Each structure stands twice: as structure tokens, then as C-alpha cells.
Structure 1
């Protein structure tokens, strides 16, 4: 059985859903088929470690698009469908049921899978990985029936999961092999503040620790560190990162990045095959802000890459991607990050409340060569939006005022913009 389609989207997650919507928005009227291995319509993943993990009633609120969206826009959404092979030369995708889908253009939005520990596969009793809606449901049920959770991994997912467990009244331990939290995404100033806050909320946080053994025992798991410290816990959560789902791309002969393993794409989302594009967690792309090719595992990146790929698939030129932005909710803090932590950056605080404050609010400004390149806002999302206007501009001589929490930020931003524009105009006339 074979079907001919204009555009095939493989993967029914964030990137796939956004790409399909963008294609219709741009006027593409031909047939779109989107296939996904899960039984759920495309949903947002960030809430899985937060609202959905705490409350089963929230899982119906996290769809990327409202119910009926795909039918209304004539998008053929095939759930529980897995593509087993792609013949790039013939433009044919083969599904596990033996059916074939012939396409004019294909978007790989296959995402990624939770990275697993070698001796703890996903079906290990009392061990949980959190990547899908079904994963969240299983972990939520396990947490409701226990008093203690141990989390391996102090990254964003591990900390969010730990925060939810604390809010549910559980005893929580977090083990992180690195010497500080969020070492690749945040400066030491924020890492240290966050570690203090995590501990202030009652979490037993162990940094720089090496796990020597993990062994199944009756009613739980035994985790032992290299220094001999051991725990017997009823629920173990492993949050150690993501592995890109690139098996299809590899078997089709598409170029993969040798370091990060992602499908290599150009600035318009094109892979090494002329009619195949990629977007989302499975894609590797050069990031100008970082000066290197990488996979950007974030909600915003998936949306931006999907938008650009959809535009390019229709033969149009897409606007460049927005400045990287990321957020996380944990331990009573909404943390938003604009830009990136880069080597050689200097950071300055705007306010610096105690780590155990009930509702802390502050910002960190990261500058490189005097220019604003990284802004971190804790419970200050509105202020972050104002700072976007200064991103990339020289601000060194204004930092003292910008860091004075007693001064209104909105007015300061306007003054800095005006002074920068005036200086630029003067230089232009010289």
C-alpha cells in the first residue's frame, strides 16, 4: 500500500506540530501527513516535570494546538505510527506496518529519547526516566505511593522533578557528578545561589559525587557512592540528558554531527539530502551566538527551527532565528535566560536576595567585551522583556545604574538606548 503526499512530517512533537501549522499559515494547500509513535496528539513537554507530574488533571491542558486543530486544517495526523526507513533517493518512507508514504518534501522532527544508564533500561522496576506523557503518568503514580525519591542528575529536568517532589511533601535527594549545578547553562554566581536555595528547601543535594553502584532491592533501589555513602530508596529518577533520535537519518545516509550526534542542517533547516529537512532536538545547527554547531534542546529552539524549516520547504526565505531564550520553574522560582553563558563573561547582580527568601526577585547581567550577551531573570520575566532592547549593546558604563534595584528599569533602558543611538549617530557623521 502506497500513498503520495506533498509534505511528510516524521515526528508528532513540538517541532512537527509547529511546522505543520506554519505550512498552513503560509498558504500551503497540498496534502500534509504527520506521523508520531506516541498515542497522544502533540503536546508541550516542559509541563511534564512540573504541573503534569503534580496533577493528572493537567495533562489535558498541554496540547501544542487545541483539540480539532489538525482536522480543521486538513492535517493528516497519524498517531501510533512509526516510520522504519527512509529512501532519500526515491523519496519514500516505509512504516512498520509495511505501508509506504511517497513524499515531495520531508521534515524529520523525531526529537530525542531520555539517555539511560547502561545497567538500568527503561523497564527496570522502581526506576523512572521522564520524557513522555506516559512516563510522567507512571512517575506521578509512583510518587503518590511513596515518601522518598532520589534523583540522579542536577540539570534542569532533574531539578524540576525534585522541586515537584518537594512540593508534594516527599523527602528528596539529588546526586550530581559535576561540581556545580547547571554548569554549561549558567554562571557560577547563579549555580551557587541555586544550590543554596535547593538545600534551603530541604533537598539533600550532593555535588561532585560519583556513583559506584546501583542495585535493585526489595521495594526499591540501593544507590552507593564511591565514598561509601548509600541510600535505599523506593523511587529512583534518572535525569541525565537526551539522546537524539537519528536512526532514520543515519540509515538514510544523511550527514550527522560527529560530536553531538544530531542531523546536520543549514540555516534554513536543510539536511544533506535535497528534499529532507530537520528541526528540533534531533537537529544540529551552527549557532552564531556560541560560534559552534550544536543541538539546542529547548522549547524555543524547536519552535524557531520548525518555523524556519517550514518556510524554506515552500521555497521562501525565513527570517533568522530569535536570540536563544530558555526558562525553568523550580523551587518557587521562574528562571528565564536570554542569550548564553560564554567563556570570559563578567556578571553583575541587580538585587541579590537571600537564597531562602519566600519569593526572591533579581537579575544577573552577563557582559562580554562590554556588551550585554546574557541576562538571567529570577521571578522577573517582565524586566527581562525590557532588557531585550539592550541585548548586544555596549552597557559597561551603565552597569552601576542598571544594577541599582532602586532605579526604574524601564526608564534606564530608554536612557541607555538613547545614549547608544546618539553615540552611533555621532560616529556615523565623523
Structure 2
């Protein structure tokens, strides 16, 4: 099949930038346009709540590609402009400045927007959302010794912000409506361990708590703190709202593409094609069937954006797609690097390797979730290399020996080899 006459990528984040790179790497030489609503060149978002929030110098390292990359690869990068309409019949995209771009293939990598609390909308004095580089810059200016920071949301983003704020010398409180941290992402034992770790680091956790009202200063508009349903008031010099992501599907919905009714993402097939095969979608805005979950889902992760970018690039060029990897996530918080392999499920049995106190200087632990001996989910604290060694067991569906795994006195590599040998056909 002939190569596309032109390709337009809407969304200049992780997925869009990596897809543009993948297209050129696969040999596509035709017109390639990358459109971003932010004025900045494509950058990685994970550092926004960590390194970039700590240090302005880290902004340079967050760039996805060197500043010369787009010109060298003949990629037209259009920054600070929004795509307003997608005309499928004409195969055109209309931009906010009146520009109309024709496409043969279109890739939607539009990501999402931070969910807002009606009582604390964007633009409210002292209220911060952390989704963009400019958001991180605004919050960074508020983090100082003695500052009172209240984080609404005990998910990965909220906990990363809390950890960074504590490192800056701020006093931090975290409000989470669930009874434990990250109930949909972590096993209960690790969730309790992480809460204890956060508390040992200085964070004041308010679990199972809800905001009853906003205490305001004399002007009646500027928040002075948050009042919880328990009656407790948490004074605040800065309030960070981190309550999740709303997928950005405005273009797709208006164009009549199929939207997943359960998660709000653009529904795509295994090759990231939407209900219109000439329009693909990747990253936070895309809903794809996940065999390990048995349903469609949106995966909001750095790895997923990268992998789907490669799959979509191959699909647009009718090339063989890469094999899907086992899901992988990571976070840095409270002095720990936490790596996660796979996804949790309610029927998993967890076994822990290691026994570190939450307040230990350098804890090292792995929780392994299995179903009848088949590994499904792994969570490692400061043990990324160990979890990477175990990845082969997950990918091949190799049954494990949980008791042998829990024995931290025995080396991990021989245990992995023994599991593989036991599973090998006679």
C-alpha cells in the first residue's frame, strides 16, 4: 500500500512526539505535522511533580527530544495553537488561527485535562493543578520552608507533589476520600505500608475525609484553608488539587468517533485505530481492550504512551506492529522508587519479599500478586532490578513458588530459574 500523502498529529505530548519519531524511524518521508496547544516544545510530564517541581534547571532534562530534533527530522511543529475541528469528510483539521491542514492519516494524542473541584476551580488564588509545565512553575514558586500545603487527592500525583513539597521544607497535609491510599492500584498491605511511610516522612494524612467547605480570607474569595467533614480545619498557603484526569476527546466526539461510555476515552482497536480507520488515538485519551483486564481501559502512563505511539506509527504505514509489553508503571515518593508490573485484581493473593519498617532510610521490598500461582501484579520498593528480572515470569505466564519467593535469604535469580525449570515440559 502507498505511504500516506500527509500525516497530522494532534497533541504534542509524550505520545505525539514519540509517534512522530517512530514514523520517521520507520522510513516515512512525507509531510508530518505535530500540533500542540502549549507554547513549549514537547516535554515529559512525570518530572512535573518531582524534579521540575524542585528545580527549574530540571526543565531542560524533561524535553522529549533535543531542540534541533524537529527541524532535523523535517517535522513541522506548531506550538501554542489549538485544533478546533476535525472534518472527516474533507480529511481536514481546522486550527484556532484559521489554518486548515489536510491529512491522509490523523493521530489524536490529545491527552487529558486535570479534573477540577467545583469549589476550587482553576484560577482561584492559592489553588494549583499540576498538569502542564506552567502549572509546575506556578506551584514551585509557592514551595518554601514553613509553607502550609494541602493536597487534595491521595493518588500517585498527589503523593508525588506531597513528597516534593515536604522536601522543600513545607508542612503538608493530604486529603483522600478513600479509606486507604490508591485502593485501585495497590494491594491493601502495600497501601498501608505506603501510608505509614508518608506519615513517617512528615505528611499528615486524612483518609476517608471529605471537604465540607472552603475557609476564605476577608476578601471572601481567597482560600485560607479547607474545612473537613470531621470539623477539622486545615490552614493552607497553597492548595493542590490532584483528583484525576478527564480525557480530552472534544475533537473526537464532535467528529462522531466512538467514545467509550465507561471511561470516556476514544475507543480504538489493537492497532490504535478509531471507528474511522484513518484516524488513530493513543495515550491518556484512548480506550483499548486489555487482555489482562478482560475489558477496555485507558492507561495513564509514560510507558503506555510510548508503546501506543510505536503501534500507531506502524499501523499508519501498514507495517508490522510491535508486540504489546506487560504494563509497567513507576513513581518516586517519600525517598522511595516504586516500580509496578501488571495491574491489581481483587482475587490476587500477595506475598511479600523483605521486611522493612516504613521509616527505614532505604527500605527494599517486593509484593508479588498471583492467581493460583500465576504472577499477575508486582510492586517493588527500591528493587527495580529485581522486578525486571521477574518480568519474564509474568510475560510467559510461568507458575511460581510463593514460599520460595518470600524467603529473602535465598537469591532471587536461582528462584526465577527454578520456577522456569519447573514449568518446562518434561
Do Structure 1 and Structure 2 share a fold, with TM-score over 0.5?
Answer: yes
| Distance 1:35-1:145 versus aligned 2 partners, 3 A rule | farther
Q: Distance in 2 between matches of 1:47 and 1:193?
A: 24
Contact 2:398-2:420 at 8 Å conserved across structures: no
Q: Distance in 1 between matches of 2:265 and 2:196?
A: 35
Contact 2:34-2:75 at 8 Å conserved across structures: yes
User: Corresponding residue for 2:271?
Assistant: 268
Range that drifts further, 66-75 or 211-220: 211-220
User: Corresponding residue for 1:208?
Assistant: 208
Contact 2:393-2:420 at 8 Å conserved across structures: yes
Match of 1:404 among 379, 383, 407: 407
Q: Distance in 1 between matches of 2:29 and 2:398?
A: 46
Aligned-pair Cα RMSD in Å: 1.4
CA offset at residue 406 of structure 1? 1.1
User: Corresponding residue for 1:199?
Assistant: 199
Quick check: 1:344 aligned with 2:363?
A: no
Contact 1:221-1:236 at 8 Å conserved across structures: no
Q: Distance in 2 between matches of 1:355 and 1:246?
A: 41
Q: Distance in 2 between matches of 1:222 and 1:163?
A: 20
Quick check: 1:290 aligned with 2:293?
A: yes
User: Corresponding residue for 1:131?
Assistant: 131
CA offset at residue 98 of structure 1? 1.0
SS at match of 2:344: coil
User: Corresponding residue for 1:395?
Assistant: 399
Contact 1:5-1:101 at 8 Å conserved across structures: no
Quick check: 1:20 aligned with 2:20?
A: yes
SS at match of 1:15: helix
User: Corresponding residue for 1:179?
Assistant: 179
Quick check: 1:59 aligned with 2:59?
A: yes
| Distance 1:406-1:145 versus aligned 2 partners, 3 A rule | closer
CA offset at residue 145 of structure 1? 7.8
Structure 2 length normalisation: TM-score?
Answer: 0.96
Range that drifts further, 404-413 or 96-105: 404-413
Contact 2:263-2:297 at 8 Å conserved across structures: yes
Q: Distance in 2 between matches of 1:331 and 1:77?
A: 37
Q: Distance in 1 between matches of 2:81 and 2:155?
A: 31
| Distance 1:212-1:220 versus aligned 2 partners, 3 A rule | closer
Range that drifts further, 344-353 or 225-234: 225-234
Structure 1 length normalisation: TM-score?
Answer: 0.95
Contact 1:176-1:207 at 8 Å conserved across structures: yes
Cα shift readout 1:237-265 (whole Å, capped 9, x = no counterpart): 00000011100101111110112111110
User: Corresponding residue for 2:420?
Assistant: 417
Runs of 4+ with deviation above 4 angstroms: none
SS at match of 1:144: coil
SS at match of 1:277: strand
Structure 2: tracts of 5 or more residues without a match: none
Range that drifts further, 217-226 or 264-273: 217-226
User: Corresponding residue for 1:35?
Assistant: 35
Q: Distance in 2 between matches of 1:135 and 1:321?
A: 33
User: Corresponding residue for 2:85?
Assistant: 85
Contact 1:146-1:235 at 8 Å conserved across structures: no
Contact 1:5-1:32 at 8 Å conserved across structures: no
Quick check: 1:154 aligned with 2:154?
A: yes
User: Corresponding residue for 2:282?
Assistant: 279
Q: Provide the aligned length of Structure 1 versus Structure 2.
A: 419
Q: Distance in 2 between matches of 1:49 and 1:316?
A: 36
